[in-house]
Each structure stands twice: as structure tokens, then as C-alpha cells.
Chains A and B, each alone.
Chain A
Amino acid sequence: MYAFLTGPMLWLSFAICILGCAWRAYKYVKGLSWQLDRVAYGHYPDLAFKGAMKSIFHWLIPFASCSWRAKPVFATAFFLLHIGLVVVPLFLFGHVMIVAERFGLSWPTMPAGLADVLTILAVLAGVFILLRRFALSEVRIITTRHDLMIMAISLAPLVTGFVAAHQSGDGNGWLLAHIITGEIWLIAVPFTKLSHAVLFFCSRAQIGIDFGVKRGGQRGSGIVW
């Protein structure tokens, strides 16, 4: 069981995640239509590139967009959650160790204490975002089961991983749960809203190009995100 989950299943999960994301990105770009979208995508490569990068940058950096600044509490939660979900797993000592063992590849890791803190903060942020969904009427009305499921899928590996790393004695149960939820998470990425892992970049680039080449990027300082 353990061997299967950490062997073929893990491979499969990564493959599905990566190929699925690539497929989604490919479909997205292929489905763009300069005439229907009314954006001359390819005509002004410089403006398009600048617009796309500006658009992504301002939203990837905490508080670099007006919207983030307008909602500092939510933005903080948002970034904590995403750091916990993306950065922590990548630089976690345990994870890097596995890669090193199998491929001989290795990169710097973060201190365990920091990882713990970030994980706890990410889970708290996730819970906060969940609660916010129900507390604020403007968010409640647009919340669907899908959104709750996504949050559950995302928080599960964090919680299980944290417990697995900290319990004493036989941690196999929790570790197993962590591996399973992690794999579920990976597989879910291309098929659910988690696809925003790549589509965020696609969509942001698109609107950046829209504003960059068509809606003002050719004049003045361009759009101020």
C-alpha cells in the first residue's frame, strides 16, 4: 500500500497534475480569439509582454495591487494560504530529502520551525477564508459546494502533514493520510478550480494584454493595477 502510494501513484499524480495543467494552458491559449475577445494579441508583442508581466506581477506580490491594498486582511490570509500551499511543500526538509534520495537532486530547505509556523498560519488563513465565506453576505451568495470542497482538498494535506510530522510513535496512519490527500490535491488541480494554479497566469496575462495593447497601454502610464 505504502509502496504503491509513494511509487506509481505518486508518479501518476504528478503526471496528471503537470500534464493536465499543461493541457489547460494549451487549451486556454488555443481558445483565444483576437476577434471575439477583441484584443490584438499578437500584433504588439512588446506591449503585450509588458502588459502581461505587469498584470501578473502586481497581483503576485503582496499588496502590489489596489485591490490587495483595499482588503489587507483578506490579502494577508490569501498570501499566507498560498505560501503554505506552494512554498512550504517545495522547501520542506522532508520533501527535499525524498527528492534527494531518489534523484540526487537537492536544494536549500527551510527550517522546520518556520515551516511549522507557516503551515499553521496557512491552515488558520484557510479557516479564516472559509469563515469569511459564510460571514459576509457578498461572499456567501456566490459560494458553492465546489469552493468548500476545494478548500478541504487544499487544507487536508497541510493538516495531515503537520500532524504526521509532529506525532510521536507510529505515524504511519497520518503519513499515509498525508500522502493520499496530497495526491488527491495534485490530481484535483487540473480538473477543478485549483487549475487556477496555471489559469491564474493565463487569465492575468490575458487581461494584462487587453489593457496593454487595447485599453490604454499605448498611452500614458497604462493601467494602474
Chain B
Amino acid sequence: MFEKILFATTGSPGCDSAARVAFDMARQYGSKLTLFHVLGIPGKGDSNVVIDIRSGEEVDVDAEYIEGVAEELRTTYAKQLEGLSGVELEVAVGVPSREVLRIARAKDVDMIVLCGPAEGQEAGFYKRGVVGDTLRKVAKAARCPVLTVSRPSASFWGGFSNIVFATDFSKASESAFQFAKTVAQAVDGELHLFNCVDLSRFQSAIALTQDGIEAKLAEARRRLHHEYALQLGDFKRFTSEVWEGTPYVEIVKFARERQADLIVLAHHARDVDPDERPFGSTLEQVIVRASCPVVSVNRPDKLPQAAEA
């Protein structure tokens, strides 16, 4: 189902949960896995010195350092690497989001696995927090699905079987839906179609009357049915649900209720200008809070093929 998986890791304990999912997936689906680490951010003018992502220290990227880091990664993941053949290890210097996108493009991968930010964690040493920034930019620009695991509890993993698809009815959501559908069919799991009517977006008093809200809910239900449920054809193991509130809260609550092991959603196009709302987008909030892996799908380019599952 996922031929080539790119796992972007810092090798730190914060990435353990994501690592577990990435390696499990590679094992389960026979994927070719690439371990990718960005050594550091180019800094200090035109010098060759880079700032190490983990320590924030200045380091010289020479052959010795690169070998040291690679060795460290091999040690960190020694157990997971056992018995997995063809795992590639790649390192690069650059801005993490940029380098992840670059290698994903170069290797034409089907899935990027990222370490999520831990809840309440400081954005990092760097001005514009490396982790949150990476997540935001990669999720927005990647051609392929981006899977993120944030909380350790999110990685207890035995394959996908209970999938929540959260939509805002955007165009990108259509790709996310195709992804969710294919995975659900391939694993013969359950699919939960979900929409949250975003109350915070309504400014007018009319829209916020209970009648207004209920009209919206009815409309959303109708759309869930027409735009998604009808596409499922023979696949009958699905439910459909519309709640109202703040989307990320409701999505997380819904996923918990359904005991989801995968949340699929699109990087909400509405949440533009991340600089204005650092760490405020629905996707990021869901990632931070969800107790299962979250996949962001924006584009139809690299959707898994059901036939190959």
C-alpha cells in the first residue's frame, strides 16, 4: 500500500512514537523505508558551520560528524532495523521542512512520517520553532500523505482498523477522503466520516441561533452523504457524523469516542497565514492532542492504490 516511506527523525526520544509507527508500517506493508535526518540549519552567514537541531550548538558538518550522526541513528534504531532490509539512511544540511520536502520529492515517496511536537513543548531553540514549523510547512506543501505521531499513547499500533476521516469539504479533503477510503478498504477496517460545523467562523446572530446551527448540521450531513458516503460503493463498514463546535476539539473527541487508530484530514486551507496563528491550525492542534497517528492529505498525486494493498 505504501511502497516508499520517508521517516524524518531527529533521533531524539521525542521521535520514538513516530519511529515505532514508521517501522511497523514498513514491516507490515513491505515498504522501502528511508531514515532521514537534517543535521542542522545553515547559519552564520556564508560559513560552513550549521546549528545542530537537537542541541542548538554550532557544529561543523564534515565527514566525521556525518558518520557520527549516522552511527548514532543506527544505534538508536538498532532494534527496529533488525530484520528490515533495504532501509536507507540519508542526512542533509538545511532548513528541516525544506529538506524533508526536497528528499520526498527526489525519492518520490508515498508517505512521509514526521515526529509530532509534544503537547506544551516549547517550539524549540530556533526563532520560528523547528518542529512546528517543519510540520506546518511539510503538511502544506508535500505531494504525498504526511503522517504524524505526537503522543506516545498514539503509537500503540497494530495496523490501521478504525479510521476517522474529518473533512471541511475543501478540495484537499477530497484527496484525504480517497486516502481514507483506500486504506479502510485495504485493511477491511471501519471508516468514520466526520464533519464539525465550525461555530467560531459564524459571526452573525442568525447563523448562531439554534435553528441556524441545526440547519448547518443538516446541510453538513447531507453533504457527507452525497460527497463521500455515496462514493463508498460496496464498502458498508462506515458511519457518518456531524458535530458542532471548534473543529480540532470535536475531531479529537470524536476520534476518542470511536477509538480511532488513524485520523485522516486535509491541511485546512482556511487556516492560512500560520505566522499569525503559530501553532493554531486545526491540523496541528489535532496532531498535538490526538491519541492516534494523524495523516494529512492534501493532494491526489500520491494516493495509495487499492489494488496493490
Classify A-B as touching or not with yes or no (CB < 8 A): no
